Amino acid sequence: MYLYAVHDVTVPRRQTMAGASDSAAAAAAELSVDGNILVSKALARFGVSHMFGVVGIPVTSLANRAMALGIRFVAFHNEQSAGYAASAYGYLTGRPGILLTVSGPGCVHGLAGLSNAWANTWPMVMISGSCDQKDAGRGDFQELDQVEAVRPFSKLSEKVKDIREIPNCVARVLDRSVAGRPGGCYLDLPTDVLHQKISEAEAENLLVEVEKTRKPNPVPAPRSSDIESAVSLLRKAERPLIVFGKGAAYAKAEDELKKLVEITGIPFLPTPMGKGLLPDTHELAASAARSLAIGKCDVALVVGARLNWLLHFGESPKWSKDVKFILVDVSEEEIELRKPHLGIVGDAKKILQTINREVKDDPFCLGKTHPWVEAISTKAKDNGVKMEAQLAKDVVPFNFLTPMRIIRDAILAVGSPSPVIVSEGANTMDVGRSVLVQKEPRTRLDAGTWGTMGVGLGYCIAAAVASPERLVVAVEGDSGFGFSAMEVETLVRYNLPVVVIVFNNGGVYGGDRRSPEEISGPFKDDPAPTSFVPDAAYHRLIQAFGGKGYVVETPEELKSALSESFSARKPVVINVIIDPFAGSESGRLQHKN
Ligand code: ADP
C-alpha cells in the first residue's frame, strides 16, 4: 500500500503486459529525481551550506541527499536544540539557518527554535516532513496540521503539494526569512511529494526558472530629511547617547558605529548581544555607567534594538521623561509601535553610513572634557574599580565572581579571533554579562529577547560551524545546561572546539531557598522545585562519549582546566562547583517571581 503510493506517480499499476512494463521501466529510469533530491538540489543551488536537524520518517533521505550535494548536515538528538542552532546560525551568518525535522512531534519540538528565531528576529527556515496528503485527517502516522501549528511564529508557512512546486517554495521561504525584518519561515513536505519523481531535465529547468526570478532583498533608502534631522538632534543634544543591539550586529554595522562614535565622541551603550560591536574596553563605553547613561541622556540614537523590557520600554523612571529617541530599525512596524521622536526605517549599516556622511559635512565632537562625557567616564571608572575589587578576591567555595574572573582572563589571553561566548542561566548569565569582556562583533550569544533557557548547546554548535576559526566557550548555569546536555555527544561526534563551563550550584538559582511556610504539605520531604542532585558529576557526561571532562573547586584547578582545554580546542565540559547559596534572581526580574 505504502509502496504503491510511492510508485503511483511513475509506474501506473495497470501496466501489466511485458511491453508496457518495459516502457514503464524505461520511463521510471528517466524519472530519477525524487522530492528529497529536488529539495536538496534547490537548497544547495540557492546558497544553503549547513543544516541542523534530527532525521527519521520521512526526511532521512533528504538529509543524506543534501550531504551528498555538499551541504553539511549536523545531526542532533533533539529538534529543540537543533532549532536553537539554526536560529543562531542565521544571526551569525546573515543567511537563514535551516532546521530539518520529522513530522508531528518533530515539528512541535522544532517550533522551539522557530519561535526563538521569531522572538529574536533572526532568519531561519524550518523544513518538516509531513504525512501523506491523501491520509491527512484520517489519523496518519505522526499527523498534524503543521502549516497551521507553526503559523504564529512564521513569516511564511507553506506546504508543497506537488514535486514541481519545490524549487519555487524553497526559494520563497529562504528569501522571505531574510527580507525586511528577519525571522522564521516554514516549509512543509508531505511524504508523497518527497517520493514523487520527475526527470533530471525537468528538475534542472524548474531550478533555472526560479533562479532567474529571484530578487535581492529590497531595503528602503532613508529619506535625506530624516538623516539631517537625526544629525541635527545629536549635534544640539547636551547629553547624547548611542545605543545599539543585535539588529546592528546582524547588519554588520560595526565599522560605521566605530566611525560615528569616534568622530562625534558620543558615549555608547550596547545591549547584551550588541556587546563587542565596539570593544567593551573603549573609553566611550557607558556599560559600567548604564543607569546614569540612560537616566540622564537627552537624545538617544537607538540602532537595531527594541525599546522592550531589556531597555525598560524606553520609559521613566529608568529613562528621562523628556528623552528624544531616534530609532533606526529595518521594521516599520517596530517604529510605529514605539512612536519615537524620529524613526528611520532601513538597514542599520546603510543608515549609519549616511549619518556619517552628513556628520562629516559639518563635523562636531564632544571631546573628553565635555561634562557629559566626563560624568559617564568618571562613573564608569568608579564602578569598574569597585567591581575589580570584588573580582580580585579568591572566594572558595566559589561564588560567581571568582570563577568568572578566571574565565574572563583566560578568554582575554586567547586574543584574536576572540572566542564566541555562549551564556545562559540566571546568575551565571547576569554576572557573565558584566564581567566577561567582548571585543569583537557577534561573539556573544545569550538567552536573548525571550530569555530562552536551554539554548546553550545548540548555540555552541551553531557558533562552532559558522565560525570555525573561533574557539567557543559556553558559560552556563547547571539548569540551562541540563536542558540540552545530551548534545555534548554531538560536540564529540563532530569534534567541535567547544568548552562548556557549567556553574554547578545544585539547581535553578541554587540550593533550597524556600521559606519555612513554603515547606509543608504531604510532599514536603520531596526535593525543592529549585533543587537538583548536589554536586552532580556533569563532567562525566562528556566522558561517556570520549570527550574530556574536568571537575574543579579551586582557582588553581579552574585555571589549569581552562589552559589545557583552550589549547586543545576539543570538546570539553568543566564542572565548576559553586556555593549553592551564592547569587540570586536577576535584579530587574526579581519582582516577577
Ligand atoms: P537587543 O535584544 O539587542 O536589544 P532586539 O532583538 O530587541 O535587540 O532588536 C533588534 C532589532 O533590530 C529588531 O527590531 C529588528 O527589526 C532590527 N533589525 C534587524 N535587522 C536589522 C537591520 N539590518 N538594520 C536595522 N535593524 C535591524
Q: What is the pLDDT of residue 4?
A: 29
Q: How far is the CA of 330 from the centre of ligand 1 (A)?
A: 7
Q: What is the pLDDT of residue 217?
A: 76
Torsion of CA 550, 553, 559, 560, to 10 degrees: -50
Q: Which atom of ligand 1 is nearest to the CA of 270?
A: 3
Span 118-147, average pLDDT:
95
Please list, residue by residue across 92-103, b when 16 or more beta carbons sit within 10 angstroms of its beta carbon and e when fewer do. Answer: bbebbbbbbbbb
Q: Which atom of ligand 1 is nearest to the CA of 311?
A: 4
Q: How far is the CA of 523 from the centre of ligand 1 (A)?
A: 46
Q: What is the pLDDT of residues 237-288, one digit of tens each?
A: 999 999 999 999 999 999 999 999 999 999 999 999 999 999 999 999 999 9
* Nearest protein CA to atom 21 of ligand 1, as residue: 247
Q: How far is the CA of 90 from the centre of ligand 1 (A)?
A: 13
Span 396-423, average pLDDT:
97
CA distance 358 to 365: 14
Residue with C-alpha cell 582572563?
A: 409
Model confidence at 500, pLDDT cuts 50, 70, 90, reads very high
Q: Flag whether pLDDT at 128 surpasses 70.
A: yes
Model confidence at 512, pLDDT cuts 50, 70, 90, reads confident
Q: Which atom of ligand 1 is nearest to the CA of 329?
A: 26
* Nearest protein CA to atom 15 of ligand 1, as residue: 247
* Nearest protein CA to atom 22 of ligand 1, as residue: 347
Span 306-310, average pLDDT:
97
Beta strands 156-159 and 184-190 are parallel
Residues facing 52 on adjacent strands = 74, 99
Q: How far is the CA of 248 from the centre of ligand 1 (A)?
A: 6
Q: What is the pLDDT of residue 11?
A: 35
Q: What is the pLDDT of residue 593?
A: 56
Q: Could you tell me if residue 449 is left (phi over 0), alpha (psi between -120 and 50 degrees) or otherwise beta?
A: alpha
Model confidence at 10, pLDDT cuts 50, 70, 90, reads very low
Burial label for 466, CB within 10 Å (0-12, 13-18, 19+), is: buried
487 vs 218, residue with greater confidence: 487
Least trusted range by pLDDT, from 122-131, 158-167, 212-221: 212-221
Q: What is the pLDDT of residue 384?
A: 96
Q: What is the pLDDT of residue 218?
A: 78
Q: What is the pLDDT of residue 557?
A: 98
In sign, the C-alpha dihedral spanning 390, 394, 400, 401 is positive
Least Cα distance to 194 among 230, 170, 214 occurs for: 170
Indicate the top mutation candidate among 290, 330, 336, 452 to test ligand 1's pocket, ranked by most ligand atoms within 8 A of CB: 330
* Lateral strand order in the sheet of 299-303: 268-270, 240-244, 299-303, 324-329, 342-345
Q: Flag whether pLDDT at 29 surpasses 80.
A: no
C-beta neighbour count of 562 within 10 angstroms: 25
* Nearest protein CA to atom 3 of ligand 1, as residue: 245
* Nearest protein CA to atom 9 of ligand 1, as residue: 305
Q: What is the pLDDT of residue 256?
A: 98
Q: How far is the CA of 246 from the centre of ligand 1 (A)?
A: 6
Q: How far is the CA of 304 from the centre of ligand 1 (A)?
A: 4
Residue with C-alpha cell 510605529?
A: 336
Span 147-159, average pLDDT:
96
Model confidence at 582, pLDDT cuts 50, 70, 90, reads confident
Q: Which atom of ligand 1 is nearest to the CA of 308?
A: 7
Task: Give the CA radius of gyration of the chain.
Answer: 27
Model confidence at 13, pLDDT cuts 50, 70, 90, reads very low
Indicate the top mutation candidate among 91, 273, 303, 306 to test ligand 1's pocket, ranked by most ligand atoms within 8 A of CB: 306
CA distance 2 to 141: 12
> Do residues 122 and 97 make contact, with C-beta atoms less than 8 angstroms apart?
yes
Query: If you count them, how many residues does the chain have?
Result: 593
Q: What is the pLDDT of residue 592?
A: 62
Least Cα distance to 54 among 132, 109, 123 occurs for: 109
* Nearest protein CA to atom 19 of ligand 1, as residue: 247
Indicate the top mutation candidate among 93, 122, 177, 181 to test ligand 1's pocket, ranked by most ligand atoms within 8 A of CB: 181
* Nearest protein CA to atom 6 of ligand 1, as residue: 120
Q: What is the pLDDT of residue 331?
A: 97
Q: How far is the CA of 187 from the centre of ligand 1 (A)?
A: 24
140 vs 218, residue with greater confidence: 140
Using a pLDDT cut of 90, give the percent of the chain over it: 87
Q: What is the pLDDT of residues 442-486, one digit of tens each?
A: 999 999 999 999 999 999 999 999 999 999 999 999 999 999 999
* Nearest protein CA to atom 4 of ligand 1, as residue: 305
Span 506-516, average pLDDT:
83
Q: What is the pLDDT of residue 586?
A: 53
Q: How far is the CA of 335 from the centre of ligand 1 (A)?
A: 11
Q: Flag whether pLDDT at 5 surpasses 50.
A: no
Span 214-229, average pLDDT:
88
Q: Flag whether pLDDT at 78 surpasses 50.
A: yes
Q: Flag whether pLDDT at 72 surpasses 70.
A: yes
Show the ligand 1 pocket: residues with CB < 6 angstroms.
120-121, 181-182, 245-247, 250-251, 271, 273-274, 304-306, 308, 310, 328-331, 334, 347-348, 449
Q: What is the pLDDT of residues 86-105, one digit of tens each?
A: 999 999 999 999 999 999 99
Residues facing 302 on adjacent strands = 243, 327
Q: Which atom of ligand 1 is nearest to the CA of 347?
A: 24
Q: How far is the CA of 217 from the centre of ligand 1 (A)?
A: 16
Q: What is the pLDDT of residues 191-206, one digit of tens each?
A: 999 999 999 999 999 9
> Do residues 173 and 95 make contact, with C-beta atoms less than 8 angstroms apart?
no
Three-point CA angle 178, 76, 459, nearest 5° = 50
Model confidence at 17, pLDDT cuts 50, 70, 90, reads very low
